[in-house]
């Protein structure tokens, strides 16, 4: 059975839904840090017909810290990329920050903004994944005839 097809009477799904509702009310912290709440959130979005991409990243500042953050993004539009490319030459970090905030789902926008304030380079990691969706390639080769 697919994750998205689980019945609402399923005990783990009920727990995840409760965690999501608590996170929305601010009781358990941020949605991006709470795996159960995030799963319930994505399940809710899927049932609403929302499409998008889950982007997860690990933050490791030192040996004692290892946080995983998950965000739901919509597919970037060419207009969003155009705004990014116009401002990237003046301030690459600010341009990438704007690009990722442009494409995050509304419910997580404030969380992402807070995370970017705490970890400024996070925008580059997330933005790179979004740029891959628009055709950015890790490897491109050239061969002389």
| Highest CATH level, class, for 75-135 | alpha beta
The pLDDT value recorded for residue 1 is 40
pTM: 0.73
Which residues are CB-neighbours of 61 under 8 A, at least 6 positions away?
none
The Cβ-side half-sphere exposure at 41, using a 13 Å CA radius, reads 26
| Domain ranges (residues) in the chain | 75-135
Please report the pLDDT score of residue 88 as a whole number: 93
Is 108 in contact with 102 (CB distance < 8 Å)? no
- pLDDT tens digits in sequence order for the chain, 145 residues long: 433 344 444 544 555 455 555 555 444 358 888 888 999 999 999 999 988 999 999 988 777 778 889 999 998 999 999 999 999 999 999 999 999 999 999 999 999 999 999 999 999 999 999 999 888 888 889 999 9
pLDDT at 139: 87
Q: Is 71 left (phi over 0), alpha (psi -120 to 50) or beta?
A: beta
């Amino acid at each position: 059975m697919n994750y998205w097809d689980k019945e609402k009477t399923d005990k783990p799904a009920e727990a995840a839904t409760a965690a999501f509702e608590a996170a929305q009310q601010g009781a358990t912290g941020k949605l991006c840090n709470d795996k159960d709440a995030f799963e319930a959130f994505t399940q809710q979005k899927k049932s609403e017909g929302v499409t998008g991409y889950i982007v997860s990243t690990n933050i490791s500042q030192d040996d004692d810290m290892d946080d995983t953050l998950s965000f739901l993004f919509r597919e970037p539009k060419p207009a969003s990329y155009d705004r990014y490319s116009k401002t990237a030459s003046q301030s690459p970090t600010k341009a990438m920050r704007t690009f990722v905030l442009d494409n995050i789902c509304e419910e997580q926008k404030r969380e992402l903004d807070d995370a970017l304030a705490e970890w400024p380079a996070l925008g580059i990691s997330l933005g790179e994944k979004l740029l891959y969706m628009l055709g950015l390639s890790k490897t491109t080769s050239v061969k002389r005839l």
